[in-house]
Structure 1
Amino acid sequence: MSNNTSHHKIWDIIKFFIHFCKLPETFRIAGINFDFSTYPCLLGFAIGLGVVFAIFGGQIAIMLTDFIQGQFCNIAFLAIMVYMVSIFRWDVIFEALRDFESANPGQSLFNPYNTSRIEDFNIWYFLVGIAIMLMTQGAWQGGSQYNAAAKSAHEAKMSRFLGTWRQLVQVALMIFIPICAFTFFHHPDFAAQAAELNGELALLGGQNAVQARVPLFLTQVLPVGLVGVFAAVMFAAMLSTDDSYLHSWGSILIQDVILPFRKKPFTEKQHILLLRLSIVFVGVFAFFFSYLFKQTEYIFLFFQITGAIFTGGAGAVIIGGLYTRMGTAAGAWVAMIAGSGLSVGGILLQQAWPHISESFYRMTGWSWVGDNLERFPLNGQYVAFYATLIGFLLYFGVSYIDKKIRHLPGFNLEQMLHRGVYDKTHEHVVVQQKPLGRLLRALGLTDEFTFGDKVIFFASMAWTLLWFLIFIGGTAAQLFFRLPDIAWLEFWKFYVMFGFVLGIGTTIWFLWGGIADTFELFRTLSTMKRDMADDGRVVDGRNAGE
């Protein structure tokens, strides 16, 4: 189980609030002659609030608050995006980006094929990221409770298609804000204001100055009302992330680590109590980890390496277990241990490298060690990739050997998932009368799709195919014709503004549909029959209670 990625999301948001709201490093409470540190107090408050929501509200409360938070954020993002576009003209943005590229060859911020001198976030970062995404599809533990909360397998599949459209506004704004911040600090039109902020950042120094740059920029350019709105957005995002992840990891610890080793099931009260205690434990661990752990690289790279503690092996287990009949328990165990072990080893090496690199270089004389004395040569993205790839190789290799030695029969996945002849509850409703082609079935279209489902399905496929073709076409054009700078700049302008315009419609769509589905959720909960014996365990290839 890996909690570290979320813990550093909490850490990052708390640091954001301190800089965004310009809070002091310490404060005093009237009548107490003691200086309280702001950071651990805010950290404890944020994690504690998430724990309270998770243990007293449970999954239903988390789903509702996440829906409200998501819609509030999208509406707020629309307002902030409109204001930012009115302040930062695209011609000014283009000028700042082109001037930087001219002064820093090989470090383009808009042409992905001119990034050879960018150390971490070059073209290989994105290509490796795509590979990791494909190998760990569905494995991210932070969303495990949502993966299991759908009304049916079909609805779970539809949620993945809908997710393509839900975040259009967020993605557009999260790209546009850093672009505007860069323009603010590098274009002559904002020189006076930037000089004032640079003076404040110089007082902070080091990593604190890097982390404070964008928050202080936002307080400088946003009007009073939108500053409050953005602070509320960040608070809502923090709370929804915290309670979701705390609930998810607390459940994983009990359901996937403790329950499989018990022969006797817990009573209902024991089970609920253990889940709540597990969530509290995760919260306590999150507090001390976030407070004590020293971050050594960019937050996105740290997300990858800490996430791989779980996904490094889980991706192979999910893909191999659900889409092949080759896997065995031995292969799954080896993949999980190897993926976790390699990721943890990478984190430890990153922490210890500055202290051991010189001795290691003197002992081995290897040039690559001498060239990287200050920092471990593999960043978090590469460590995550190699851990995941090795997890895949070990999963299939060990499973193959295990089957050959023990002559194991294939696992009856259809029975456990209640598919085909085992669908006694008639969960899989056929609405498609005409036979579907093999290609459409391979892409995920089944007989359960209604007309509306198919519209969403084909729109999502067309959207993905569009950007894939643009990627292929852009790559070919760059290789053979070397696209001019203005072509790349206009592409990013189109990408941001197109997502923003479409996001207006999808925000209205999700708000209306989400409200309707909320009422449907409570109607379903009021009539559904619960099997209290089904506590999440799998016994002899069947769900407990069957």
Structure 2
Amino acid sequence: MGTLDWTLFTLIAACLMAVVIILKSYTRSVADFLAANRCAGRYLLTVADGVSGVGAITVIATFELHYSSGFVPEYWQLMLLPIGLIISLSGWVIYRFRQTRALTLAQFLEVRYSRKFRIFAASICFLSGIINYGIFPAVTARFFIHVLEFPSAFSLLGIALPTYPVVMATMLGIALFFTLSGGQITIMITDFIQGQLINIVMLLLLGFLLYYFAWGDIVEALETAPEEASLLHPFQTQKVTDFNFWYYAISVFSAFYGVMAWQGSQAYYASAKTPHEARMAKVLGNWRTAVINVLPMFLPICAFVALTHPNFKDLASTVTNHLDSMPDGQSQQQLLTPTVLIYLLPPGLLGLFVASMWAAAISTDNTYLHSWGSILVQDVIIPMYGKPLSPKTHLLALRLSIAGVAVFGFCFSLLYQQNDFIFMFMSMTAAIFMGGAGSVIIGGLYWKRGTTQAAWAAMIVGALVPTTGMISRMLDPDFFLNGQQIWFAATSSAVCSYIIVSLCGKERFNLDKMLHRGDYADGESKPAAVETRIERFKQFGVDSEFSNGDKMIYLITAVVGVSFFSLFIFALVVHLTVGTDEGWWASFWKWFLLFASVKALIVTIWFLFGGVRDIRALLLDLRRAKQDARDDGFVE
């Protein structure tokens, strides 16, 4: 990077550091540290929660996916739109969880099942989470070493030090500074700022790429893909073994089953002002993806064009020589697209891209450190201890636990040799907990016949299946099931276990008491929360909590979602009746990219104003809020 690039990067990093220092004074209690004292508005939640899942590792994993699959995955993603709309518009899971007022998922599990089950489930969640997180520091460090062209070693005070562990330790140290300074308050606000930075930079990069690469060149390059492994035609991918139709078919089930099961950003589930704000944040989440999905999809496609089209042979030669100097094929695969960017982007834009990737890495690291460290203390250590801690001791324990997660991530990344796609590794390790978690969450919130014995059975079965699969993949990289298929085997086994064991029991749980509704309603509860199922069905989830503006957002979200899903149906019908070729699909993707880009621009401006308003309201509410030392997640 040049002087301009480093200047931009340094200014952005310094501004974020200053924000962290300013916000530190707002954290005064355990509830502040864990869930921002439940004062967050919808736009702040939407952007911050969204960017927490779009770390540098996720962007790099998306580069891997689209470089090998082209536009094709975007077609199958359209198949997921109805599921996402149903989940967000109905408030599926997230609304009822917020009604419980639990600070963590496992606190809800204790209320719904038992303290022993809480400890057991939280232990599995913690282990699954830190193993899943284990490769994050490694992938991030390799990216920055490569893009910033750091040497493999350097000398400090006459001592030769390897660059790789130093970069990992530096990135983790910055994430720890963000996390330990103010907990969820600091994380949420800085993640919002970082999220908006990423949105703006992605739009700038998208404009540059559309200017630099002619659409005709893009199509010509993509048409060179092998037969039955098309990068344009989603129905000509029979030779694609991993990211194929079945990968996305399983994702449809996962989207419904796994709501709230993954705890990497668990604090956001409890941070909303009200259950309605939590639901509206999920509704707005349908718009957020318009920004964060476009560039990570288009950029690796442009990298493919740069490396395969004759018009860019000089660039391709330079990039190839650079990649050949890397030690292993896995690093080459992960860093291929970033390498193209090093030689493609002009000064200034390269610095902004690196700054946005740094922001993405920190936003995910601080959220994951906070989540896994909090879960260990809140849901394993304190329940085993059997009584609440003083606020000062409690906060100290949380900070020590979070630091311990960072140390584990550093050691795991230093020792583990990755031999699979990033997304496959993430699916497989997440399934250790999520395999059974979806059953116990959905059953616990919606089915009064769900029993504690069923929860144990689902969690045990859901953990054993992916653990066996993970060990098999480590011993044999050619194991017949990939990470996504192992995940599906785990979830389907857990669902069957939960239903069968529950039907054998006689328990009837009081859901109204847990959800603070009906005879148990109090100040926070709304009359709408106790409407009958028939009334809620007739209104499609719209109740008296919805303002006129909320109804407008709800309606437009539904219309836009259905419109994009209609593209999926339209293309499917045309293909089955008239037939389609790669030329037809090239036109389809041109218009799809145009509409997605316009949508991304609108959403970026819209969410910027909404988020700034929410941050102001959050800080005012935190100043006014009464501190309750008993609000620490401990269940009497």
1:486-528 CA distance string (max 9 Å, x none) = 2222222222221211111111111111111111111211222
User: Counterpart of 2:237 in 1: which secondary structure?
Assistant: coil
Are the equivalent residues in 1 in contact too, given 2:266–2:371 (CA < 8 A)?
Answer: yes
How many Å separate the matches in 2 of 1:314 and 1:382?
17
Whether contact under 8 Å (1:142, 1:244) holds in the other structure is yes
Aligned residues with identical type, % of pairs: 40
CA–CA distance in structure 2, aligned partners of residues 537 and 332 of structure 1: 21
Equivalent runs, 1:137-152 vs 2, <5 Å:
137-152=259-274
Determine the C-alpha separation between the residues in 2 that align with 1:211 and 1:326. Answer: 47
Find the partner of 2:417 among 290, 294, 304: 294
User: Where do residues 184-203 of structure 1 align in structure 2 (5 Å cutoff)?
Assistant: 184-203=306-325
Unaligned runs of 5+ in 2: 1-124
* Residues 21, 174 of structure 1: alpha-carbon distance in 2 compared, 3 angstrom cutoff: same
Aligned to 1:358: none
Shift of 1:330: 1.9
**Structure 2 CA distance, aligned partners of 1:535 and 1:234?**
34
Partner of 1:416: 514
Question: Mapping of 1:362-511 within 5 angstroms?
Answer: 375-401=478-504, 403=505, 407-408=506-507, 410-428=508-526, 438-441=536-539, 443-511=540-608
- Taking the TM superposition and a 5 Å limit, the aligned residue runs for 1:155-166 are 155-166=277-288
Paired residue for 1:40?
165
Q: CA deviation at 1:440?
A: 4.7
Shift of 1:430: 6.0
2:108 is equivalent to residue 10 of structure 1:
no
**1:70 and 2:173 matched:** no
- Provide the C-alpha distance between the structure 1 equivalents of 2:514 and 2:535, rounded to a whole number of angstroms: 27
In structure 2, the partner of 1:20 is: 147
TM-score normalised by L of structure 1: 0.88
How big is the shift at 1:144? 0.8
How far apart are the structure 2 equivalents of 1:455 and 1:224?
Answer: 42
CA contact (8 A) 1:25 1:39 kept: yes
- My pick for the range that moved more, 205-214 or 292-301, is 205-214
Segment of structure 1 superposing worse, 503-512 or 223-232: 503-512
Q: Which residue of 2 aligns with 1:133?
A: 255
Cα 1:40/1:77, change in 2 over 3 Å: same
Q: What does residue range 21-420 of structure 1 map to in structure 2 within 5 Å?
A: 21-29=148-156, 31-34=157-160, 36-100=161-225, 104-204=226-326, 205-353=328-476, 375-401=478-504, 403=505, 407-408=506-507, 410-420=508-518
Q: Match for 2:350: what amino acid?
A: V
Contact 1:175 1:496 in 2 (8 A): no
Letter in 2 for 1:380: G
Check whether the contact 1:312–1:388 (CA below 8 A) recurs between aligned residues: yes
Q: Which amino acid aligns with 1:310?
A: F
Q: CA deviation at 1:88?
A: 1.0
Q: Is the 8 A contact 2:387 2:634 kept in 1?
A: no
Change over 3 Å in CA distance of 1:492–1:138 after alignment to 2: farther
How big is each residue's C-alpha offset from its partner over 1:267-290, in whole Å with a ceiling of 9 and x where there is no partner? 222222221121112111111112
Rounded to whole Å, the distance in 2 between the matches of 1:412 and 1:259 is 26
Q: 1 CA distance for matches of 2:511 and 2:628? A: 21
CA pair 285-187 structure 1, distance change in 2 beyond 3 A:
same
CA contact (8 A) 2:137 2:410 kept: no
How far residue 134 of structure 1 moved from its aligned partner, in angstroms, is 1.9
Letter in 1 for 2:200: I
Aligned pairs, how many? Answer: 507
The CA deviation string for residues 327-375 of structure 1, in whole angstroms up to 9 with x for no partner, is: 122222222222222222221111112xxxxxxxxxxxxxxxxxxxx61
> Which stretches in structure 1 are left out of the alignment for 5+ residues?
354-373, 540-546
Q: Which residue of 1 aligns with 2:27?
A: none
Cα separation, 2, equivalents of 1:291 and 1:481: 54
Distance in 2 (alpha carbons) for counterparts of 1:519 and 1:461: 29
Q: Give the structure-2-normalised TM-score.
A: 0.76
Residues 184 and 290 (structure 1), Cα distance of their counterparts in 2 relative to 1, 3 Å cut: same
CA contact (8 A) 2:431 2:487 kept: yes
Question: What secondary structure sits across from 2:224 in the alignment?
Answer: helix
Q: Structure 1 residues 436 and 342 mapped into 2: Cα distance closer, same or farther (>3 Å)?
A: closer
Asked whether the equivalents of residues 141 and 310 of structure 1 are also in contact (C-alpha less than 8 Å), the reply is no
Pair 318,238 (structure 1): closer, same or farther in 2 beyond 3 Å = same
- The aligned amino acid for 1:9 is F
Change (3 A) 1:253 1:511: same
Query: What is the identity, as a one-letter code, of the residue corresponding to 1:219?
Result: I
One-letter amino acid of the structure 2 residue matched with residue 245 of structure 1: Y
TM-aligned CA distance change 1:503 to 1:429, over 3 Å = farther
The 3 A distance-change label for structure 1 pair 462 and 3 is farther
Quick check: 230-239 or 520-529, which moved more? 520-529
Tell which deviates more after alignment, 492-501 or 233-242. 492-501
Distance 2:261 2:528 in 1: 29
Tell me the CA shift for residue 529 of structure 1. 2.8
Q: Relative to structure 1, is the Cα distance of residues 250 and 340 closer, same or farther in structure 2, using a 3 angstrom cutoff?
A: same
Residue 620 (structure 2) pairs with residue 523 (structure 1): yes
For 2:227 and 2:213, how far apart are their aligned partners in 1?
Answer: 25
Q: Secondary structure in 1 aligned to 2:243?
A: coil
Opposite residue 516 of structure 1, the aligned amino acid is R
Give the 3-state SS of the residue equivalent to 2:223 in structure 1. Answer: helix
* Equivalent residue number for residue 361 of structure 1: none
**Residue 438 (structure 1) shift:** 4.4
Deviation at 1:262, TM superposition (A): 4.0
Runs of 4+ residues over 4 Å off in structure 1: 435-438
**Separation (CA, whole Å) in 2 of partners of 1:463 and 1:319:** 28
Cα distance change of structure 1 residues 130 and 156 upon mapping to structure 2, 3 Å threshold: same
Worse overlay, 201-210 or 69-78: 201-210
CA contact (8 A) 1:152 1:427 kept: no
1:185–1:330: structure 2 CA closer, same or farther, 3 Å change rule?
A: same
SS of 1:326's equivalent? coil
Write the distance in 1 (CA, Å) between the matches of 2:400 and 2:502. Answer: 35
Cα contact 1:24–1:38 (8 A) shared by 2: yes
Change (3 A) 1:430 1:339: closer
Aligned CA RMSD, in angstroms, stands at 2.1
* C-alpha contact 1:296 1:350 (8 A) present in aligned 2: no
User: What letter corresponds to residue 428 of structure 2 in structure 1?
Assistant: I
> Are the equivalent residues in 2 in contact too, given 1:172–1:497 (CA < 8 A)?
no
Partner of residue 364, structure 1 = none
Deviation at 1:56, TM superposition (A): 2.1
CA contact (8 A) 2:536 2:543 kept: no
